[in-house]
Amino acid sequence: MKRKLVLIVILLAGLIIAGCSSNKSAAGSQDYPKRPVELVVPFGEGSASDTFARKFAEIMSKDMKKPLQPVNKDGSGGLVGMVYAHGQANDGYTVLEVTPSHVIADVLGKGEGLTFMDEFEPLARIQSDIYVLSVPANSDLKSFDELVKKGKEKEITFAGVSPGGLDDMTLNALADATGVKVKFIPYGSGSEVKAAVLGGEVDVYLDKLINTVGYIKDGKVKPLVVLNDERIAKIDELKDTPTTVEKGYDVTIGSWRGFVVKKGTPQEVKDVLLDQMKKAYETEEYKEFNAESLTDIREGFLGSEEFKAAMKEDYEKFDKVAKQTGLK
Protein backbone atom coordinates (compact mmCIF):
# COMPACT_ATOMS: atom_id res chain seq x y z
CA MET A 1 0.00 0.00 0.00
CA LYS A 2 2.79 2.41 0.95
CA ARG A 3 4.56 1.59 -2.30
CA LYS A 4 1.43 2.50 -4.28
CA LEU A 5 1.11 5.77 -2.39
CA VAL A 6 4.73 6.65 -3.13
CA LEU A 7 4.20 5.95 -6.83
CA ILE A 8 1.05 8.10 -6.86
CA VAL A 9 2.90 10.98 -5.16
CA ILE A 10 5.77 10.74 -7.67
CA LEU A 11 3.31 10.71 -10.58
CA LEU A 12 1.43 13.72 -9.23
CA ALA A 13 4.67 15.59 -8.64
CA GLY A 14 5.72 14.91 -12.21
CA LEU A 15 2.41 16.21 -13.55
CA ILE A 16 2.68 19.34 -11.42
CA ILE A 17 6.24 20.01 -12.62
CA ALA A 18 5.22 19.46 -16.24
CA GLY A 19 2.25 21.78 -15.76
CA CYS A 20 4.44 24.44 -14.21
CA SER A 21 6.93 24.10 -17.04
CA SER A 22 4.14 24.43 -19.60
CA ASN A 23 2.68 27.44 -17.82
CA LYS A 24 6.11 29.02 -17.59
CA SER A 25 6.63 28.49 -21.34
CA ALA A 26 3.23 29.97 -22.11
CA ALA A 27 3.86 32.87 -19.77
CA GLY A 28 7.25 33.44 -21.41
CA SER A 29 5.65 33.85 -24.81
CA GLN A 30 2.96 36.13 -23.38
CA ASP A 31 5.51 38.34 -21.64
CA TYR A 32 7.88 38.54 -24.61
CA PRO A 33 9.25 40.99 -25.39
CA LYS A 34 9.86 42.66 -22.04
CA ARG A 35 12.37 45.08 -23.55
CA PRO A 36 13.17 46.39 -27.04
CA VAL A 37 14.42 43.83 -29.56
CA GLU A 38 17.61 44.69 -31.42
CA LEU A 39 17.32 44.28 -35.18
CA VAL A 40 20.81 43.93 -36.64
CA VAL A 41 21.06 45.42 -40.13
CA PRO A 42 24.35 44.08 -41.53
CA PHE A 43 24.61 46.76 -44.21
CA GLY A 44 25.14 50.51 -44.27
CA GLU A 45 22.63 53.24 -43.55
CA GLY A 46 20.63 54.23 -46.61
CA SER A 47 21.18 50.95 -48.42
CA ALA A 48 18.18 49.06 -49.83
CA SER A 49 18.47 46.50 -47.03
CA ASP A 50 18.62 49.25 -44.42
CA THR A 51 15.58 51.07 -45.85
CA PHE A 52 13.57 47.84 -45.92
CA ALA A 53 14.59 46.72 -42.41
CA ARG A 54 13.77 50.06 -40.83
CA LYS A 55 10.38 50.29 -42.50
CA PHE A 56 9.46 46.72 -41.62
CA ALA A 57 10.63 47.21 -38.02
CA GLU A 58 8.50 50.35 -37.79
CA ILE A 59 5.40 48.46 -38.98
CA MET A 60 6.06 45.45 -36.72
CA SER A 61 6.64 47.66 -33.68
CA LYS A 62 3.15 49.13 -33.91
CA ASP A 63 1.69 45.78 -32.84
CA MET A 64 4.33 44.72 -30.30
CA LYS A 65 4.70 45.38 -26.57
CA LYS A 66 8.23 46.63 -27.13
CA PRO A 67 9.70 47.93 -30.40
CA LEU A 68 12.30 46.52 -32.76
CA GLN A 69 15.30 48.84 -32.77
CA PRO A 70 17.42 48.68 -35.96
CA VAL A 71 21.17 48.98 -35.51
CA ASN A 72 23.62 49.01 -38.40
CA LYS A 73 26.66 46.72 -38.24
CA ASP A 74 28.10 47.20 -41.71
CA GLY A 75 31.15 45.49 -43.17
CA SER A 76 32.47 42.50 -45.12
CA GLY A 77 29.32 42.05 -47.17
CA GLY A 78 27.09 41.41 -44.17
CA LEU A 79 29.52 39.29 -42.14
CA VAL A 80 30.29 41.90 -39.48
CA GLY A 81 26.62 42.03 -38.52
CA MET A 82 26.36 38.25 -38.56
CA VAL A 83 29.32 37.82 -36.20
CA TYR A 84 27.90 40.50 -33.91
CA ALA A 85 24.47 38.83 -33.79
CA HIS A 86 26.06 35.46 -33.08
CA GLY A 87 27.84 36.96 -30.10
CA GLN A 88 24.55 37.91 -28.44
CA ALA A 89 22.36 35.66 -26.29
CA ASN A 90 19.92 33.34 -28.05
CA ASP A 91 16.95 34.74 -26.15
CA GLY A 92 15.07 36.39 -28.99
CA TYR A 93 16.24 39.90 -28.21
CA THR A 94 18.56 39.95 -31.22
CA VAL A 95 17.18 39.44 -34.72
CA LEU A 96 19.45 39.45 -37.78
CA GLU A 97 18.43 40.63 -41.24
CA VAL A 98 19.88 38.34 -43.93
CA THR A 99 20.29 38.26 -47.71
CA PRO A 100 21.84 35.83 -50.23
CA SER A 101 25.22 37.27 -49.25
CA HIS A 102 25.13 35.18 -46.08
CA VAL A 103 24.44 31.97 -47.98
CA ILE A 104 27.23 32.80 -50.43
CA ALA A 105 29.61 33.35 -47.49
CA ASP A 106 28.90 29.75 -46.43
CA VAL A 107 29.58 28.51 -49.96
CA LEU A 108 32.90 30.33 -50.15
CA GLY A 109 33.91 29.64 -46.54
CA LYS A 110 34.06 33.34 -45.66
CA GLY A 111 31.99 33.22 -42.49
CA GLU A 112 34.67 34.47 -40.11
CA GLY A 113 34.80 31.02 -38.52
CA LEU A 114 30.99 30.72 -38.47
CA THR A 115 28.69 28.73 -40.72
CA PHE A 116 25.62 30.86 -41.17
CA MET A 117 23.16 28.08 -42.02
CA ASP A 118 24.29 26.02 -39.03
CA GLU A 119 24.44 28.81 -36.46
CA PHE A 120 21.17 30.61 -37.20
CA GLU A 121 17.53 29.58 -37.53
CA PRO A 122 15.22 31.22 -40.10
CA LEU A 123 12.13 33.13 -39.04
CA ALA A 124 10.74 34.37 -42.36
CA ARG A 125 11.67 35.64 -45.78
CA ILE A 126 9.88 38.90 -46.51
CA GLN A 127 11.10 40.23 -49.87
CA SER A 128 12.02 38.56 -53.14
CA ASP A 129 13.66 40.81 -55.71
CA ILE A 130 14.08 40.31 -59.47
CA TYR A 131 17.16 40.81 -61.63
CA VAL A 132 17.10 42.44 -65.06
CA LEU A 133 19.88 42.04 -67.63
CA SER A 134 20.36 45.16 -69.74
CA VAL A 135 22.90 46.67 -72.13
CA PRO A 136 24.02 50.30 -72.54
CA ALA A 137 21.77 52.37 -74.79
CA ASN A 138 24.44 52.58 -77.49
CA SER A 139 25.05 48.81 -77.58
CA ASP A 140 24.65 47.08 -80.93
CA LEU A 141 22.93 44.17 -79.19
CA LYS A 142 19.19 44.29 -79.79
CA SER A 143 17.99 41.11 -78.09
CA PHE A 144 18.89 38.41 -75.61
CA ASP A 145 19.27 35.93 -78.46
CA GLU A 146 21.90 38.18 -80.03
CA LEU A 147 23.69 38.40 -76.68
CA VAL A 148 23.78 34.62 -76.34
CA LYS A 149 25.09 34.22 -79.89
CA LYS A 150 27.82 36.81 -79.38
CA GLY A 151 28.71 35.47 -75.93
CA LYS A 152 29.42 32.01 -77.28
CA GLU A 153 32.03 33.48 -79.61
CA LYS A 154 33.51 36.21 -77.42
CA GLU A 155 33.63 37.05 -73.71
CA ILE A 156 30.85 39.30 -72.44
CA THR A 157 32.09 41.80 -69.84
CA PHE A 158 30.15 42.98 -66.82
CA ALA A 159 30.93 45.28 -63.92
CA GLY A 160 30.65 44.52 -60.23
CA VAL A 161 31.94 45.50 -56.81
CA SER A 162 33.00 42.13 -55.46
CA PRO A 163 33.91 38.88 -57.25
CA GLY A 164 31.89 36.05 -55.82
CA GLY A 165 29.04 38.37 -54.83
CA LEU A 166 25.41 37.83 -55.76
CA ASP A 167 25.66 39.67 -59.10
CA ASP A 168 28.70 37.62 -60.09
CA MET A 169 27.12 34.34 -59.01
CA THR A 170 23.84 35.09 -60.78
CA LEU A 171 25.36 36.08 -64.11
CA ASN A 172 27.68 33.08 -64.03
CA ALA A 173 24.68 30.83 -63.40
CA LEU A 174 23.00 32.33 -66.46
CA ALA A 175 26.23 31.98 -68.44
CA ASP A 176 26.43 28.31 -67.50
CA ALA A 177 22.86 27.72 -68.66
CA THR A 178 23.31 29.55 -71.97
CA GLY A 179 26.91 28.67 -72.81
CA VAL A 180 27.91 32.33 -72.82
CA LYS A 181 31.44 33.29 -71.74
CA VAL A 182 31.54 36.13 -69.21
CA LYS A 183 34.29 38.20 -67.64
CA PHE A 184 33.95 40.07 -64.34
CA ILE A 185 35.41 43.59 -64.24
CA PRO A 186 35.81 44.88 -60.64
CA TYR A 187 34.99 48.45 -59.67
CA GLY A 188 35.30 50.25 -56.36
CA SER A 189 31.65 51.10 -55.73
CA GLY A 190 28.12 50.75 -56.99
CA SER A 191 28.21 54.26 -58.47
CA GLU A 192 31.37 53.37 -60.40
CA VAL A 193 29.63 50.25 -61.73
CA LYS A 194 26.73 52.34 -63.03
CA ALA A 195 29.11 54.87 -64.56
CA ALA A 196 30.95 52.05 -66.34
CA VAL A 197 27.67 50.75 -67.74
CA LEU A 198 26.40 54.13 -68.91
CA GLY A 199 29.80 54.92 -70.39
CA GLY A 200 29.84 51.72 -72.39
CA GLU A 201 32.93 50.35 -70.62
CA VAL A 202 31.25 46.95 -70.15
CA ASP A 203 28.89 44.94 -72.32
CA VAL A 204 26.02 44.21 -69.93
CA TYR A 205 24.38 45.49 -66.77
CA LEU A 206 22.85 43.06 -64.27
CA ASP A 207 21.01 44.61 -61.35
CA LYS A 208 17.85 44.49 -59.27
CA LEU A 209 14.68 45.80 -60.86
CA ILE A 210 14.38 48.79 -58.54
CA ASN A 211 17.91 49.92 -59.46
CA THR A 212 17.43 49.39 -63.20
CA VAL A 213 13.94 50.65 -63.99
CA GLY A 214 14.87 54.35 -63.81
CA TYR A 215 17.66 53.90 -66.36
CA ILE A 216 15.30 51.93 -68.59
CA LYS A 217 12.61 54.63 -68.46
CA ASP A 218 15.24 57.32 -69.19
CA GLY A 219 16.49 55.35 -72.18
CA LYS A 220 19.99 54.94 -70.76
CA VAL A 221 19.95 51.14 -70.90
CA LYS A 222 17.99 48.58 -72.93
CA PRO A 223 16.53 45.57 -71.10
CA LEU A 224 17.20 42.25 -72.82
CA VAL A 225 15.84 39.67 -70.36
CA VAL A 226 14.19 39.45 -66.94
CA LEU A 227 15.32 36.65 -64.64
CA ASN A 228 11.83 35.48 -63.81
CA ASP A 229 9.19 33.02 -64.92
CA GLU A 230 6.64 35.67 -65.96
CA ARG A 231 6.92 38.99 -67.78
CA ILE A 232 6.64 42.20 -65.77
CA ALA A 233 3.37 43.55 -67.11
CA LYS A 234 2.97 46.34 -64.53
CA ILE A 235 5.89 48.31 -66.01
CA ASP A 236 5.21 49.47 -69.58
CA GLU A 237 8.89 49.61 -70.50
CA LEU A 238 9.33 45.95 -69.52
CA LYS A 239 6.09 44.30 -70.64
CA ASP A 240 7.70 43.28 -73.96
CA THR A 241 10.95 42.07 -72.39
CA PRO A 242 11.17 38.25 -72.37
CA THR A 243 12.02 36.17 -69.31
CA THR A 244 14.77 33.61 -68.87
CA VAL A 245 12.20 30.84 -68.41
CA GLU A 246 10.40 31.96 -71.56
CA LYS A 247 13.72 31.64 -73.39
CA GLY A 248 14.19 28.13 -72.06
CA TYR A 249 16.64 28.83 -69.23
CA ASP A 250 15.54 27.98 -65.70
CA VAL A 251 17.59 30.73 -64.05
CA THR A 252 15.47 32.97 -61.86
CA ILE A 253 17.97 33.76 -59.10
CA GLY A 254 17.20 37.04 -57.42
CA SER A 255 17.93 38.90 -54.24
CA TRP A 256 15.83 38.47 -51.11
CA ARG A 257 15.64 39.75 -47.56
CA GLY A 258 14.53 37.97 -44.43
CA PHE A 259 15.19 37.49 -40.74
CA VAL A 260 16.87 34.87 -38.58
CA VAL A 261 17.75 34.34 -34.93
CA LYS A 262 20.63 32.58 -33.26
CA LYS A 263 20.30 28.81 -32.98
CA GLY A 264 18.75 27.70 -29.71
CA THR A 265 16.29 30.59 -29.42
CA PRO A 266 13.16 29.31 -27.59
CA GLN A 267 10.45 28.09 -29.94
CA GLU A 268 7.73 30.11 -28.23
CA VAL A 269 9.75 33.29 -28.82
CA LYS A 270 10.30 32.40 -32.48
CA ASP A 271 6.56 31.81 -32.80
CA VAL A 272 5.82 35.30 -31.48
CA LEU A 273 8.28 36.91 -33.90
CA LEU A 274 6.99 34.92 -36.87
CA ASP A 275 3.39 35.80 -36.04
CA GLN A 276 4.28 39.51 -35.83
CA MET A 277 6.13 39.31 -39.15
CA LYS A 278 3.12 37.72 -40.84
CA LYS A 279 0.87 40.46 -39.50
CA ALA A 280 3.25 43.22 -40.61
CA TYR A 281 3.62 41.68 -44.07
CA GLU A 282 -0.16 41.70 -44.53
CA THR A 283 -0.71 45.34 -43.53
CA GLU A 284 -1.71 47.87 -46.17
CA GLU A 285 1.23 50.02 -45.11
CA TYR A 286 3.72 47.31 -45.99
CA LYS A 287 1.91 46.41 -49.22
CA GLU A 288 2.24 50.02 -50.35
CA PHE A 289 5.94 50.08 -49.43
CA ASN A 290 6.47 46.75 -51.21
CA ALA A 291 4.81 48.06 -54.37
CA GLU A 292 6.90 51.24 -54.33
CA SER A 293 10.06 49.12 -53.97
CA LEU A 294 8.98 46.92 -56.92
CA THR A 295 9.41 43.86 -54.72
CA ASP A 296 5.77 42.87 -54.97
CA ILE A 297 5.98 41.24 -58.40
CA ARG A 298 6.62 37.79 -57.02
CA GLU A 299 5.61 36.50 -53.61
CA GLY A 300 8.11 37.42 -50.95
CA PHE A 301 6.85 35.78 -47.78
CA LEU A 302 8.08 32.35 -46.73
CA GLY A 303 7.62 30.82 -43.30
CA SER A 304 10.47 29.29 -41.33
CA GLU A 305 10.59 25.85 -42.95
CA GLU A 306 9.98 27.15 -46.47
CA PHE A 307 12.64 29.82 -46.00
CA LYS A 308 15.10 27.20 -44.78
CA ALA A 309 14.42 25.02 -47.84
CA ALA A 310 14.80 28.01 -50.19
CA MET A 311 18.18 28.93 -48.67
CA LYS A 312 19.34 25.35 -49.05
CA GLU A 313 18.34 25.43 -52.72
CA ASP A 314 20.24 28.69 -53.20
CA TYR A 315 23.28 27.18 -51.50
CA GLU A 316 23.31 24.32 -54.00
CA LYS A 317 23.04 26.72 -56.96
CA PHE A 318 25.80 28.99 -55.69
CA ASP A 319 28.00 26.05 -54.78
CA LYS A 320 27.77 24.72 -58.34
CA VAL A 321 28.64 28.11 -59.82
CA ALA A 322 31.52 28.66 -57.38
CA LYS A 323 33.09 25.32 -58.35
CA GLN A 324 32.68 25.98 -62.07
CA THR A 325 34.22 29.45 -61.89
CA GLY A 326 37.09 28.46 -59.62
CA LEU A 327 35.86 30.59 -56.71
CA LYS A 328 35.75 27.44 -54.60
Q: What is the pLDDT of residues 143-188, one digit of tens each?
A: 999 999 999 999 999 999 888 999 999 999 999 999 999 999 999 8
pLDDT score recorded for residue 24: 42
| Superfamily of the domain at 131-238 | Periplasmic binding protein-like II (3.40.190.10)
For 182-213, letters b (16+ CB in 10 Å) and e give bebeebeeeeebbebbbeeebbbbbbbbbbbb
Rounded CA-CA distance 77/99 in Å is 10
Residue-level pLDDT at 22? 42
Q: What is the mean pLDDT of the chain?
A: 91
DSSP state of 36: P
Q: What does the pLDDT read at residue 28? A: 52
Which residue intervals of the chain bear CATH 3.40.190.10? 131-238
Q: What is the pTM assigned to this prediction? A: 0.89
What integer pLDDT is reported at residue 112 of this predicted model? 82
pLDDT given at position 10: 43
The CATH 3.40.190.150 portion of the chain extends over 36-129+255-325
Say which CATH topology domain 36-129+255-325 has: D-Maltodextrin-Binding Protein; domain 2 (3.40.190)
Give every residue of the chain whose pLDDT is below 70, as ranges: 1-29
Residue 30: the pLDDT is 75
Share of the chain residues as helix, strand and coil, in percent rounded to the nearest 5? 50, 20, 35
